[in-house]
Amino acid sequence: MFPFCFEWAWDISHIVFMGGLWYALSIIGAGMTFAIVKSVFDCAGHDDQDHGHH
Amino acid sequence: MKEKNDYKQAKRYGMVIDLDKCTGCGACMVGCYSENNVPFKADETNKLDSINWIRIFKITNDKPYPETETCYIPMPCMQCDGVGKHGHPPCVSVCPAVATDYDYDTGIISQIYTRCFGCRYCMAACPYHARKFNWWDPVWPADMEKYLNPKVSPRMRGVVEKCSFCFHRYQQARDKAYLEKREELAENEYQTACAEACPTGAITFGDLNNKNHAVYKLKNSPKAFRLLERLNTNPKVYYLTSKKWVRRAGDNYLTHEEPGKIKNNMKEHH
Amino acid sequence: MNETPLIPAGVKRCSKWQFSLWMAAATAVLLWGVYAMYLIWYKGLNQTNMNDAYGFALWIWADLAVIALGGGAFFSGFLTYIINKNELKNIINLAVVIGFICYSSALLILAIDVGQPLRAWFIFWHANVHSMLTEVAFCLSCYFAVLTIEFIPLILENPRLDKKPFLHHLSHNMHGIMAIFAATGVFLSFFHQGSLGGVAGVLYGRPFAFREHILIWPFTFFLFTWSAAAYGPCFTILVTKITELITRKKLVKDNVIHLFAKISGWMIITYIIAKTIDTIYWAFVTAPGFGFTLMDFYASSTYNIGLLFAEIVICGFIPGLILITKRGRENSFLLMSAIILGVIGVSLNRWVMVLQVMAVPVFSFNEWYTYMPSWQEVATTVLPVAYGIIVISLAHRYLPVFPQEKELNPID
């Protein structure tokens, strides 16, 4: 799973397979981070008013 | 999977079993059990969950007396070279955790018990049923634990095990040769427990690549065949028989087909 | 100040007592499964009736079946978010809940099925990238994360949770980027559904399972993805209909069901044509190359040729043809028959690709292997059903799963 695991080899199979995995995980991670951070800012922005509905 | 080593002459350890000589006595199984600390159950009636690294199949020609003939087929792990003959046996590439691997130095397929997590995919992949699962914790009768072979680690519940061609004996022989500053092993320095136990000398073991080893000549005999060869598993266990019906039983054939006259249907690929 | 009610506004739900009784029944079944699970984890796989010939059995079938049936989630996500079939927004929530149940169940079953559950993480850490099972494990876990992410905004729409400003915004923001998650889900699903097919298709030691390859992928890879997309929606519609039956009200408009059924129908028809071609090639080219005739694979009383007929014709062409015709899918009896046949069909396909693979003898001198699951295996396979009923009941009671419910069931 990681390059420091001893079975790891920098061959095409590992690059394609693990590349796909880390790509998917990055999108999921980045998406969730974006949603959470934006929500924190949205909350802060609405603190002065009654919290609003969109 | 490990990279191929660039040794000039890699070993391909294999076995030739002469079915004309096998009496089905089971000494190979007993030898294997004690050499490899193979666990057994108090009641071994159900063979489908017994553990054995070599077992003997009994087949008959299905003819009435007096034409009835019987043949015993001892079956260890076939140590397949696999499709393309370069280290892709049915079981190795399917293992999700690299718990079984093809050793390019010897052609022997390892099983790493502490790595195996018991998914049993390798068992589904092996057409020879050579792989066995530890359905129970291994338990030996009182005092028998003292007689276990210290060179072979016993396995735990929930993992798969199989014949290793007594790989620990290979390691010992290699260590000895190293101390004696030798590169090569003599034929008799590394022999499996089953080959040594066979009273009729039906089992011959050695390096299939080495012209001086008995197996090299035997495998090229016109009597030689391998089990389920048409699947392209490329086993390293060969059998000898002079009987046509035994040869035919060793693989699957359509009615019009004749053993020994079939071309392999699969392309060699990775 | 009155506390915000837990039940969404504008909809009617059964009484607390009725609901508790219903939940108690489902929980009782669940506990039976949990007890069996405990026995298996504590005593080991000797609690099952599996053996060295039947290393893969009921559980692996259950795994493959729930993942195929949960395929409605990724396919409806694909249709809704990627090719903008907006009508399906009215059923996608349920598809996501079903997907979540199916995938969590699959992961649980896998955790029971392995001999050394505490080492299950080896499949990630020491991954063998050449194994189909590795890909299944990776994509399954990742896609389960995606399904959880898709489920969260729905949970956050519960009136009491929606009151909390952060959760309200989080739900809104997650909705905003849902297309990205859905696209990732489709990508992951394509591969793990396919890899589950690959699990059997790569077994070149098992002539019943082995199929020819395109690059590294056996035909079963493509057939499994295709069939999950085709039959998954049948299961989503079936659960919708069952929920409507139990709650005694209409929850999704007919045009939505019909559209989903029509798409499913075309997917089934195209799939079953591909499956037929695959079967013919396998029967007349691949298998004879190994020395087998088609009938060698169906020479048992349990596994006879009727199974193949049932899978391809009765549970393939028939539901496909019903669903692609307007009259067929608009007739409620025919629609129900087609979706039930579809659900049976895909489950049957998965059964054959797991259990029949094990049953067929490869040696000419071996008999067919037989297997009957132990009660522990049955109980742990029923467990996800009880768990699914509990999750859907809770979701239906407390979350706005069906956007059209208010309109279809106005309360004065």
Give, for all 412 residues of chain C, the pLDDT tens digit. 467 788 888 888 999 999 999 999 999 999 999 999 999 999 999 999 999 999 999 999 999 999 999 999 999 999 999 889 999 999 999 999 999 999 999 999 999 999 999 999 999 999 999 999 999 999 899 999 999 999 999 999 999 999 999 999 999 999 999 999 999 999 999 888 999 999 999 999 999 999 998 888 999 999 999 999 999 999 999 999 999 999 999 999 999 999 999 999 999 999 999 999 999 999 999 999 999 999 999 999 999 999 999 999 999 999 999 999 999 999 999 999 999 999 999 999 999 999 999 999 999 999 999 999 999 999 999 999 999 999 999 999 999 999 999 999 888 6
CB contact under 8 A, C199 and B232: no
* Chain B, nearest residue to C123 by Cα: B97
Provide, as residue numbers in chain C, all residues whose Cβ is less than 8 Å from the Cβ of A9: none
CB contact under 8 A, B98 and A9: no
Domain ranges of chain B: 13-249
Give the pair of three-digit tokens for residue C244: 């409507």
Q: Which domains does chain C have, with CATH numbers?
A: 50-371 (1.20.1630.10)
**B13-249 topology per CATH:** Alpha-Beta Plaits (3.30.70)
Q: Which one of A7, A11, A12 would you mutate to disrupt binding with B, by most B Cβ within 10 Å of its Cβ?
A: A7
Q: What DSSP state is assigned to residue C368?
A: P
* Chain B, nearest residue to A1 by Cα: B97
CA–CA dist C108, C1 (Å, integer): 43
Check if B42 contacts C (Cβ < 8 Å).
no
CA atoms within 13 Å, Cβ hemisphere of C66: 28
SS3 C158: coil
User: Are B233 and C205 spatial neighbours (Cβ–Cβ below 8 Å)?
Assistant: yes
CB contact under 8 A, B95 and C52: no
**B89: β partners:** none
How far is the alpha carbon of A18 from chain B, nearest alpha carbon, in Å? 14
Q: Name, in order, each residue with C-beta under 8 angstroms of C87's C-beta and a sequence gap of 6 or more.
A: C255, C256, C259
User: Are C130 and A13 spatial neighbours (Cβ–Cβ below 8 Å)?
Assistant: yes
Of the candidates B49, B126, B254, the beta carbon closest to that of C205 is on: B126
Nearest to C384 by CA among C24, C19, C141, C29: C29
Provide, as residue numbers in chain A, all residues whose Cβ is less than 8 Å from the Cβ of B98: 7
pLDDT tens by residue, B46-66:
999 999 999 999 999 999 999
CA atoms within 13 Å, Cβ hemisphere of C266: 6
User: Are C377 and C48 spatial neighbours (Cβ–Cβ below 8 Å)?
Assistant: yes
CA–CA dist B105, C374 (Å, integer): 44
Nearest to B190 by CA among B214, B167, B217, B163: B167
Task: Write B197-202 long-range contacts (CB < 8 A, 24+).
Answer: B197/B27, B197/B28, B197/B30, B197/B31, B197/B32, B198/B22, B198/B27, B198/B28, B199/B23, B199/B25, B199/B27, B200/B21, B200/B22, B200/B23, B200/B25, B201/B18, B201/B21, B202/B17, B202/B18, B202/B19, B202/B21, B202/B22, B202/B74
pLDDT tens by residue, C211-252:
998 888 999 999 999 999 999 999 999 999 999 999 999 999
CA–CA dist B117, B95 (Å, integer): 10
Provide, as residue numbers in chain A, all residues whose Cβ is less than 8 Å from the Cβ of C128: 7
How far is the alpha carbon of C329 from chain A, nearest alpha carbon, in Å? 37
* Chain A, nearest residue to B97 by Cα: A7
The angle, 0 to 180 degrees and rounded to 10, between the axes of the packed helices C58-69 and C332-351 is 140
DSSP string spanning chain B?
Answer: -PPPP--SS---EEEEEETTT-----HHHHHHHHHTT----S----GGG---SSEEEEEE----TTS--EEEEEE------BGGGSSB-TTTTT-TT--EEE-TTT-PEEE-TTT-----HHHHH-TT---EE--S-----TTGGGGS-TTSPPPPTT-EE---SSHHHHHHHHHHHHHTT-SSPPGGGS--HHHHH-TT--EEEEETT-TTSHHHHHHTSTTEE-TTGGGT---SEEEE-S-HHHHHHTS---TT--TT-----SPP--
Name the helix (H) or strand (E) containing C237: helix C219-247
Q: How many CB atoms lie within 10 A of CB A7?
A: 17
Residues 51-80 on B with a CB inside 8 Å of C are 57, 59
Return the higher-pLDDT residue of C6 and B20.
B20
CB pairs under 8 A between A and C: 67
CB contact under 8 A, A9 and B3: yes
The pLDDT score that the predictor gives to residue C22 is 96
